[in-house]
Chain A
Amino acid sequence: MSEPQEIVPIGKNELVGMVAHLFAEGYRLVQIGCSTLENGYELNYSFDKGYRFKNLRISVAPGEDVPSISAVYTNAFLYENEIHDLFGCSINDIAIDYHGTLYRTSIKTPFSVEHVNLPDPPKPKTAAPPPPKDKAKPQEEIPVERKE
């Protein structure tokens, strides 16, 4: 069932302005999501009003700062704390900042660029080792480890 979903890529500096504009129009904040790319992160801000879904997308490099939108939408503080704890992406001026105590994991920032291995896109048909080989290798390694 496809509903029309808009994804609008914008720059970091226009973020707070556009978010304030959406707040004035009556949109509610649905989620703030983060994906790890090859060398950077991609933040998705999702808004909804009357079942119409709208998305703002910004890309940041690791180490860059992102402005917080919790001055406009108060509930953004929880999502931004989660992104800071799991991805290591630093966000300035979060309204209520837990400084890393929200998610207490044994590896700090487990989803950051250093820890995540992204899958390769498929090679064109001429070149190709078929993907099932990926799965056959861990088959032999793991049962040997676990038997101990």
Chain B
Amino acid sequence: MAHKNIIPFGPQHPVLPEPIHFDLVTEDEKIVDAIPSISYVHRGLERLVEKRDFIDMVHVADRICGLCSFMHSLGYCQAVEEIMKIEVPERALYLRTLWAELSRVHSHIFWLGVAADAFGYESLFMQSLRLREGVLDIFEETTGGRVILGVCKVGGVRKDITAETLQGILDRLTTLKKDLDELCTVFMNDYSIKHRLVGVGYISKEDAYTLGCVGPMARASGLDMDMRSLGYAAYKHLDVEPMVESGGDCYARCLVRIRETFHSIDLIRQAAGKIPEGPIDLKLKDTPNGEYFSRIEQPRGEVIHYVKGNGSKFLQRFRVRVPTFSNIPAMIKVLKGSEVADVPNIILTLDPCISCTER
């Protein structure tokens, strides 16, 4: 006779980088339902627009999340620039693309490490984070901060990169790529990893589309969705290719992220080859009056920044819709019918970034 139990998952769990809570209703090792509960790190950042003017809000947007920090300030700046109808200089667009792709590389390597730790492979976790240190050192040399970059501003960027620094970055990325190759061969071919990931957490293509999946979770189910094809920043001059797999399970999502990391290193190389000379910022004249939805591809999916201004120095509304929030309904569907022991793996393949979700 099946007996229903409620198992609480989170907010403190060795696997989770950030606190989220699920009440799992189980019947003898199989999960029947999952009830999410968020707001453990809700800071009410969207109400800070009443107190900080639109130029200072970039610093708030930077600090929404640690892993996706640069992308949030990029999205905010783009939205404000579209409202004020400013043309950002080309060199600033290329620099922004460079930092955005480096952000993606470090976020995916971090995810690989944390996922390896979740299914018990601690030495892979250590190796991945050691490689990630190389990228964080690049950030520190070019912007001054390791995690919170603080380099994007409305009208351009705040710091420049000289040509020798750029060459140094490319050399370091070549060494990084070689080490990453060795690491990813383990991820893709190891027998015990495949045993834990293949066939787990399957979601079909139609379900992924109607339930609103974005990012690697959607691309692993066969949906060809990548916001970089919209051509914001310098992506219109680069050769972007969305990495699509058709497996739909945790293994496919792992593969998508690994392929995206290599593709990002390639994009950085392309951008460094094409970067033009010129100014890196613009002087601002008036205040924003209007509204705009700015769509960016973060490492975790499609993020939307909605900015609305009415002509005064303070904005009326700033709303961020993050990809993790959009993936939660799909994840609740995936959790139903899976085993209790697979729950940490499934939740991690969604790559939850809860500080973004709850701003």
Contact = CB atoms under 8 A, between A and B. Distances in A.
Q: Taking the complex as a whole, does A directly touch B, i.e. does some CB pair lie under 8 Å apart?
A: yes
Interface of A: 1-3, 5, 28-31, 33, 35-36, 44, 46, 51, 53, 55, 73-75, 77-78, 98, 101-105, 110-111, 116-122, 131, 134-135, 138
B338 interface: no
A105 B329 contact: no
A131 B39 contact: no
B293 A35 contact: no
8 contacts: A1-B82, A2-B82, A3-B230, A30-B321, A46-B304, A74-B211, A101-B37, A122-B287
B311 A122 contact: yes
Interface stretch (B46-54, B129-137, B165-173, B263-271): B46-54
Consensus secondary structure, chain A interface: loop
B328 interface: yes
A92 B292 CA distance: 29
B119 interface: no
Contacts of A75: 210-212, 326, 329-330
A132 to B, nearest CB: 8
Interface in B299-332: 302, 304, 306, 308, 310-317, 319, 321, 325-326, 328-330
B82 A116 contact: no
Contact of B325 (A3, A5, A78): A78
A131 B313 contact: yes
Contacts, number: 100
B224 to A, nearest CB: 10
Interface residues of B, number: 48
A1 B75 CA distance: 11
Contacts of A110: 44, 47
Contacts of A111: 46-47
B231 interface: yes
B35 A35 contact: no
Interface of B: 35-39, 42, 44, 46-47, 50-51, 53, 78, 82, 209-212, 227, 229-233, 236, 287, 292-293, 295, 302, 304, 306, 308, 310-317, 319, 321, 325-326, 328-330
A79 B53 CA distance: 28
Contact of A102 (B36, B293, B326): B36
A138 B312 contact: no
Given A3-B230, A31-B321, A51-B230, A102 B38 contact: yes
Nearest to B313: A131
A103 B38 contact: yes
A119 B310 contact: yes
Q: Top 3 A-B pairs ranked by shortest CB distance?
A: A119-B314, A75-B329, A1-B232
Contact of A35 (B36, B37, B227, B308): B308
A33 B321 contact: yes
A2 B316 CA distance: 21
A119 B50 contact: yes
Given A28-B210, A75-B329, A121 B308 contact: no
A81 B211 CA distance: 16
B42 A51 contact: no
